[in-house]
């Protein structure tokens, strides 16, 4: 069974508080959802596998890390998940996108 991850980062808690305020404007709410998704995405992707590849830098060739395996697929559960999807795509713009609902 998957492990439950509790994200209790101060920035996430602060942004959730701003989102919950009665007088938060719609545009601000959307921006905050995107920012929270970015912070959550950072935690979610923490254990993704890496592989080492050879690259050429402006100075010299080197070995560097890149995400291993197939492309990531982000699946949004409509409609509420769509706001989170944008923040995740900011983090992993090459990810494939799917929708449920």
pLDDT tens-digit readout, 3-15: 887 888 999 999 9
Domains of the chain, residue spans = 10-100
| CB neighbour class for 33 (10 Å; exposed up to 12, middle 13-18, buried from 19) | buried
Cα distances (angstroms) measured from residue 28 to each of 14, 37, 57: 13, 14, 40
- Is the N-terminal amide bond of 79 cis, ω within 30° of 0? yes
pLDDT digits (tens, 9 = 90+) for 12-31: 999 999 999 999 999 999 99
pLDDT at 2 over 80: no
pLDDT digits (tens, 9 = 90+) for 44-100: 898 899 999 999 999 999 999 999 988 899 999 987 788 899 999 999 999 999 999
Number of neighbours of residue 15 by Cβ within 10 angstroms: 19
Class of domain 10-100 (CATH, top level): alpha beta
DSSP annotation of 26: H
The pLDDT confidence band at residue 1, using thresholds 50, 70 and 90, is low
Residue 23 in tokens? 């007088």
């Amino acid at each position: 069974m998957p492990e439950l991850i509790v994200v209790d980062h101060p920035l996430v808690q602060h942004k959730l508080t701003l989102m919950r305020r009665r007088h938060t404007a719609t545009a601000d709410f959307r921006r905050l959802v995107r920012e929270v998704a970015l912070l959550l995405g950072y935690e979610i992707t923490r254990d993704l596998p890496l592989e080492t590849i050879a690259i050429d830098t402006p100075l010299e060739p080197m070995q560097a890390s890149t995400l291993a395996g197939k492309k990531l697929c982000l699946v949004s559960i409509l409609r509420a998940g769509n706001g989170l999807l944008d923040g995740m795509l900011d983090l992993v713009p090459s990810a494939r996108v799917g929708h449920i609902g």
